[in-house]
A and B are shown apart, each in its own frame.
Chain A
Amino acid sequence: MSLTDQDVEKIAHLARIQLEPEERARYLQELNGILDLVAQMNRVDTEGVPPMAHPLHMVQRLRPDLVTESDRREAFQAIAPLTEAGLYLVPKVIE
């Protein structure tokens, strides 16, 4: 499987990344290189090997259900571009 220029454009759009035409060409090549590697791995017989979800051989530790965080809104909002009445303001999004 190899990607087309349109695929790269679509992926960039989904990731909200703006690419210049020469960047698109470079990413097309690099992404296809990655897919070639995947194709190579796909050729290995993995019958009976369970899919790996995480490289660490550990399991998820659970946290007791306790409220441990206090209100730090002021500190967080000090670095926000725009706030009002405790809300973060962002360019209008409405469907």
Chain B
Amino acid sequence: MPWEIVIGLEIHAQLATQSKIFSGASTAFGAPPNTQACAVDLGLPGVLPVLNEQAVRCAIRFGRAIQAEIAPRSIFARKNYFYPDLPKGYQISQYELPIVGKGQVHILLADGTRKRIGITRAHLEEDAGKSLHEDFHGYTGIDLNRAGTPLLEIVSEPDLRSPEEAVAYARKIHQIVRWIGISDGNMQEGSFRMDANVSVRPQGAETFGTRTEIKNLNSFRFLERALRFEVDRQIDVLERGGQVVQETRLYDVDRDQTRPMRTKEEANDYRYFPDPDLLPLVLEEEQIARATADLPELPDVKAARFRDQYGLSDYDANLLTSSLAMADYFEAVAQACDNPKLAANWLLGEVSAALNKADLDLEQAPISAEQLAGLLQRIEDGTISNKIAKQVFEALWRGEGPTADAIIEAQGLKQITDRDAISALVDAVIAQHPAQVAQYRAGKEKVLGFLVGQVMKASRGKANPQQVNALLREKLKA
């Protein structure tokens, strides 16, 4: 029987704030345990949570970026459960009236089509602390530095129909939160974590199958693998005549499988109720306008503009808008060298390869947009060939000169376009290779490539290849 896969994601993005969502403790990563957990974070008696303005601003920006309604009035609720990494016995979250309502994003599928993915809501909440289970003689160690860190939980509609779509959606959200500057999206540090709700149903069925939830996935690769495993597992259970049990599962990276964690508590077991410590959050139009005034052009809009304005393919426009830094860099180069396609090719080719090799982000690239544009201009005006340009690029990367021009000058890389100079080189090559010349003249056209190569070699790559080609043909005809 053909099965349809149904996936919804809950993504937790840590918000880019200096202090916690309800206290003035620092959110900096990597501090010694419990040195950034204050009385509010510890839930000591008599403390009062006060909402962080920046966290609210981040949520508003996200709401705008996904074309969602931003609630003029939202409330905070207590989600009650007992776990030692949550000292209050409840997590402050939003339940009935979240700050961000229904929105949407569009993902690009493998076949080049776009698909709309609905977002149910996004709400503000506090993170829990960290439990360390290893080696405390039968005890669990608790570090509450992370307790109270602001999170935006972004809940999608069950619109995703394959693990690939789920990954494309997660990447889109990751792109957006970084783009609008509300989260660093650092997955190693846990700033972007995903929970997946998965079910399968017979193709064409109206109702959803029983779902399981896979918790705490912190990489796109693990998300995809966990989903693949879980989908296969559920289909297998159903095809054997069994039933899927609604439960929370964990993905075991080493074994590449999911296993049950605990039976999912029913929503009302959390006994949500409005937190009496926090008043309703009321947002005025003016406040929303202020929070969104400096939103950059959004990635999809920018990609469409790149496509139309610079004549790029959909694919390239998408890659060039993978981050705001990339898009800005591209546009600076494209405008300075006046050849957007050349700029795109170099950025997605040489520059990306060099960054990968050196394990650097674009922000850390040793070559600025101005420097790259300077190099591309010299390709454009014929001063250097593409091949020599790669050499100059490497020299720029190593910091051997301040500009492409300086390196071309210092290392004598200027393309030889002087007809007499090339002519002399061609004559010499013809004289040195009588056998190949005879072959060519006997009709073996392919030999020309060899001869061109010899001339280029003799010029140390600097001769203009088109001129070499033309001159060789001309002289061999004689």
Instruction: Write the residues of chain A forming the contact surface with B, with a CB cutoff of 8 angstroms.
Output: 14-16, 53-54, 56, 58-69, 71-73, 76-77, 82, 84-95
Q: A14-B80, A71-B36 are in contact. Are A63 and B24 (CB under 8 A)?
A: yes
Taking A87-B132, A88-B34 as known contacts, 10 extra A-B pairs with beta carbons closer than 8 A to each other, sorted by chain A number, are A14-B269, A54-B278, A60-B278, A73-B34, A82-B139, A85-B141, A87-B136, A89-B139, A93-B83, A93-B84
Would you give the shortest CB distance from A16 to chain B, in whole angstroms? 6
Is B17 interfacial (CB-CB < 8 Å)? yes
Is B107 interfacial (CB-CB < 8 Å)? no
User: Which residues of A lie under 8 Å from residue B132 when comparing CB positions?
Assistant: 87
Please tell me which one of the listed residues B82, B140, B143, B269 contacts residue A94 in the complex, with CB atoms under 8 A apart: B140
Q: A60-B280, A88-B141, A92-B138 are in contact. Are A65 and B38 (CB under 8 A)?
A: no
User: Which residues of B lie under 8 Å from residue A58 when comparing CB positions?
Assistant: 279
User: Which residues of A lie under 8 Å from residue B75 when comparing CB positions?
Assistant: 53-54
Assess the B37–A73 pair: CB atoms within 8 A: yes
Assess the A77–B141 pair: CB atoms within 8 A: no
User: Which residues of A lie under 8 Å from residue B142 when comparing CB positions?
Assistant: 87-90
Would you give the shortest CB distance from A62 to chain B, in whole angstroms? 4
Assess the A60–B42 pair: CB atoms within 8 A: no
Q: In whole angstroms, what is the CA distance A58 to B281 when docked?
A: 9
Pick the most buried of A16, A58, A77, A89: most chain B CB atoms within 10 A of its CB: A89
Q: In whole angstroms, what is the CA distance A54 to B80 when docked?
A: 18
Assess the B51–A62 pair: CB atoms within 8 A: yes
Is B144 interfacial (CB-CB < 8 Å)? yes
Assess the A54–B282 pair: CB atoms within 8 A: no
Assess the A60–B51 pair: CB atoms within 8 A: yes
Assess the B140–A92 pair: CB atoms within 8 A: yes
What does the 1/0 interface line of B50-93 toward A look like (CB < 8 Å)? Answer: 11111110000000000000000001000010111000000000
Assess the B139–A91 pair: CB atoms within 8 A: yes
Q: In whole angstroms, what is the CA distance A54 to B9 when docked?
A: 31
User: Which residues of B lie under 8 Å from residue A85 when comparing CB positions?
Assistant: 33, 141
Would you give the shortest CB distance from A53 to chain B, in whole angstroms? 4
Assess the A59–B136 pair: CB atoms within 8 A: no
Please tell me which one of the listed residues A62, A73, A95 contacts residue B35 in the complex, with CB atoms under 8 A apart: A73
Assess the B276–A54 pair: CB atoms within 8 A: yes
Pick the most buried of B38, B97, B262: most chain A CB atoms within 10 A of its CB: B38
Q: In whole angstroms, what is the CA distance A93 to B136 when docked?
A: 12
Would you give the shortest CB distance from A89 to chain B, in whole angstroms? 4
Q: Secondary structure of the A side of the interface?
A: loop
Is B133 interfacial (CB-CB < 8 Å)? yes
User: Which residues of B lie under 8 Å from residue A92 when comparing CB positions?
Assistant: 133, 138-140
Q: A89-B139, A90-B139, A93-B83 are in contact. Are A14 and B271 (CB under 8 A)?
A: yes
What does the 1/0 interface line of B112-142 toward A look like (CB < 8 Å)? Answer: 0000000000000000000111001011111
User: Which residues of A lie under 8 Å from residue B42 when comparing CB positions?
Assistant: 76
Q: Which residue of B lies closest to A77 (CB)?
A: B34
Please tell me which one of the listed residues A14, A62, A67, A94 contacts residue B133 in the complex, with CB atoms under 8 A apart: A94
Please tell me which one of the listed residues A14, A63, A73 contacts residue B50 in the complex, with CB atoms under 8 A apart: A63
Would you give the shortest CB distance from A69 to chain B, in whole angstroms? 4
Please tell me which one of the listed residues B35, B38, B80, B141 contacts residue A89 in the complex, with CB atoms under 8 A apart: B141
Is B292 interfacial (CB-CB < 8 Å)? no
Q: A69-B38, A87-B132 are in contact. Are A62 and B52 (CB under 8 A)?
A: yes
Assess the A59–B280 pair: CB atoms within 8 A: yes
Assess the A87–B33 pair: CB atoms within 8 A: yes
List 21 A–B pairs whose Cβ atoms lie within 8 Å, in order of A's numbering: A53-B280, A54-B279, A56-B279, A60-B278, A61-B50, A63-B50, A65-B52, A65-B55, A66-B18, A68-B19, A73-B35, A77-B34, A84-B139, A85-B33, A87-B142, A87-B143, A88-B84, A88-B142, A89-B142, A92-B133, A93-B83
Is B167 interfacial (CB-CB < 8 Å)? no
- What are the 9 A-B residue pairs with the smallest beta carbon separation, nearest first? A68-B24, A87-B141, A65-B54, A86-B33, A62-B53, A69-B38, A89-B139, A59-B282, A60-B279
Q: Which residue of B lies closest to A91 (CB)?
A: B139
Please tell me which one of the listed residues B18, B51, B138, B141 contacts residue A67 in the complex, with CB atoms under 8 A apart: B18
User: Which residues of B lie under 8 Å from residue A90 when comparing CB positions?
Assistant: 84, 139-140, 142
Assess the A89–B34 pair: CB atoms within 8 A: no
Is B190 interfacial (CB-CB < 8 Å)? no
Assess the B18–A62 pair: CB atoms within 8 A: no
Q: Which residue of A lies closest to B23 (CB)?
A: A69
Please tell me which one of the listed residues A14, A53, A54, A62 contacts residue B56 in the complex, with CB atoms under 8 A apart: A62
Q: In whole angstroms, what is the CA distance A89 to B137 when docked?
A: 10
Q: Which residue of A lies closest to B132 (CB)?
A: A87
Assess the B279–A76 pair: CB atoms within 8 A: no
